[in-house]
């Protein structure tokens, strides 16, 4: 490619302006300055196949020179852009750099520039490299369906793409926009996606039951109701437990649907109590113990049958004729509040967990460790060495870190790798119950990543010992 560069003087009217990534406009101040002092910095241009001078850098200066009626302007003539799509993609990338340096592009202009390059068939990886923006921003800009969001709210491109996901839910949009100003955007987005998944699962299940002619119970029955859950009933004549045929439940029976992310055995899909799990390297665990590596979280729709007329079905409560005293309304409200809190905290933890682990993957890719990392690494090695020897660490670390040969590894890289291993060891030691039982090791881990720029969600702050109300989760 010809890389020669010549300085010439030509009339600004002889210069050709091509489509710019923003609507180039010369401000009144710029025009006045050019009229008084002339053009102090040359315009950069190249000659096209017709030998016309095409502006590469300096669109606004060219327009100002024309408006100021200058006879001549200095022009540096350089080689034409690479011959891909008539040089348009190289030209757009060059204009991106010039505009970002001189007068920052708005986020909308940035998104539309990225989308324009994608329309030319440039791959996301190439766009990311040419414009020096991260891949997540490129992906968001190329999939965004409503760039007007960038005009309405003060958001990044990636945040605006998320907001457009929830355009049909004004309340969710309001929540996300508010969270963007508090550093909680990613956490709120994870929670909203989680809630949407749950709502969709319930809607699908409801449609299936109603298609069978089964009544779906709305809400919870009143506490003073004379009706009862079927799993508490027996047959009057035989005393046997009642078993409902889901294909033909019969009269006076409705189904209650609930959906939540539940800890299940990977091998069978059977729910297990997450608070009764053991670590894989716990040598004192019982023979039939379930370990954390044997389970995963899964969205489960649960059903519970309800009968609104026990006498008509010939059923009765299996409890003794003299059951314990009924709880007071205050007791009931406390139990309801505790249940709401557990459900909300569990959901919040699972949503935060994904955000935190995504952040950790990015952090572990750093080339050098933060200056304050030595103390954290030392504390982990001296007080919690078993975390680094856990069987799960060897399997999980590949999700966060690629460790090349340690032979000849530089000191900064070795230090960062040691820190990453300690962080991963702490991360896999967390679980859905971490918010309920305060573990000093988890507190140390969460506070450390908070110091590195990670925004703790409310449930993670509760795991650190802070008081967080249910409504804040």
Residues 247, 296 contacting (CB under 8 angstroms): no
The pLDDT value given to residue 390: 67
Which tokens go with 246? 């889901």
| Digit-coded pLDDT (tens) for 188-242 | 999 999 999 999 999 999 999 999 999 999 988 887 777 899 999 999 888 899 9
R_g of the chain computed on alpha carbons: 32
Domain spans of the chain, in order of start: 1-105, 106-194, 215-326, 341-472
The pLDDT value given to residue 1: 40
The pLDDT value given to residue 201: 95
Return the CATH number of 1-105, one of 3.30.1490.20, 3.40.50.2300, 3.30.930.10, 3.90.1530.10. 3.90.1530.10
Indicate if the alpha-carbon torsion angle 117, 121, 124, 125 is positive or negative: negative
Kindly give the parts of the chain with pLDDT less than 50. Answer: 1-3, 21-22, 83-86, 101-103, 320, 322-323
Q: How far is CA 381 from CA 307, 376, 407, in A?
A: 58, 9, 22
The pLDDT value given to residue 409: 83
Other CB atoms closer than 10 Å to residue 108's CB: what's the count?
17
The pLDDT value given to residue 322: 46
| Digit-coded pLDDT (tens) for 125-183 | 888 887 788 888 888 888 887 777 888 888 888 898 899 889 899 999 999 999 999 99
- Residues 143 and 158: their CA atoms lie apart, in Å, by 10
The pLDDT value given to residue 290: 92
């Amino acid at each position: 490619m010809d890389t020669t560069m010549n300085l010439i003087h030509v009339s600004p009217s002889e210069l050709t302006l091509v489509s710019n990534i923003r609507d180039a406009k010369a401000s009144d101040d710029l025009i006045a300055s050019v009229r008084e002092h002339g053009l102090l910095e040359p315009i950069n241009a190249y000659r096209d196949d017709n030998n016309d001078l095409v502006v590469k850098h300096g669109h606004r200066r060219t327009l100002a020179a024309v408006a100021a009626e200058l006879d001549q302007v200095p022009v540096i003539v350089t080689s034409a852009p690479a011959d891909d799509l008539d040089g348009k993609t190289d030209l757009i990338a060059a204009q991106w750099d010039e505009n970002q340096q001189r007068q920052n592009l708005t986020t909308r202009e940035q998104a539309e520039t990225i989308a324009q390059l994608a329309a030319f068939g440039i791959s996301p990886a190439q766009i990311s490299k040419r414009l020096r923006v991260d891949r997540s921003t490129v992906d968001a800009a190329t999939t965004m369906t409503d760039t007007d969001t960038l005009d309405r709210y003060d958001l990044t491109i990636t945040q605006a793409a998320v907001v457009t996901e929830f355009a049909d839910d004004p309340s969710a949009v309001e929540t996300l926009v508010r969270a963007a100003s508090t550093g909680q955007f990613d956490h709120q987005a994870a929670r909203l996606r989680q809630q949407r998944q749950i709502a969709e699962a319930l809607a699908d299940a409801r449609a299936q039951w109603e298609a069978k002619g089964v009544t779906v119970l709305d809400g919870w029955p009143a506490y003073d109701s004379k009706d009862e859950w079927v799993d508490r009933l027996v047959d009057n004549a035989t005393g046997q437990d009642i078993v409902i045929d889901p294909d033909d439940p019969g009269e006076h029976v409705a189904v209650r649907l609930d959906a939540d992310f539940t800890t299940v055995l990977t091998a069978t899909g059977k729910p297990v109590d997450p608070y009764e799990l053991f670590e894989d390297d716990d040598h004192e665990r019982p023979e039939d113990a379930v370990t954390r590596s044997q389970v995963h979280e899964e969205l489960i729709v649960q059903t519970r049958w309800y009968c609104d007329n026990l006498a008509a079905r010939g059923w009765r409560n299996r409890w003794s004729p003299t059951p314990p005293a009924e709880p007071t309304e205050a007791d009931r409200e406390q139990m309801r509040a505790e249940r709401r809190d557990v459900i909300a905290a569990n959901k919040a933890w699972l949503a935060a967990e994904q955000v935190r682990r995504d952040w950790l993957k990015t952090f572990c890719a750093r080339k050098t460790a933060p200056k304050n990392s030595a103390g954290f690494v030392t504390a982990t090695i001296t007080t919690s060495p078993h975390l680094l020897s856990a069987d799960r660490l060897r399997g999980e670390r590949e999700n966060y870190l690629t460790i090349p040969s340690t032979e000849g590894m530089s000191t900064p890289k070795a230090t960062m790798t040691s820190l990453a291993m300690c962080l991963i060891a702490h991360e896999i030691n967390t679980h859905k119950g971490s918010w309920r039982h305060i573990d000093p090791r988890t507190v140390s881990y969460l506070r450390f990543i908070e110091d590195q720029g990670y925004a703790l969600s409310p449930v993670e702050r509760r795991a650190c010992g802070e008081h967080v109300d249910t409504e804040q989760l």
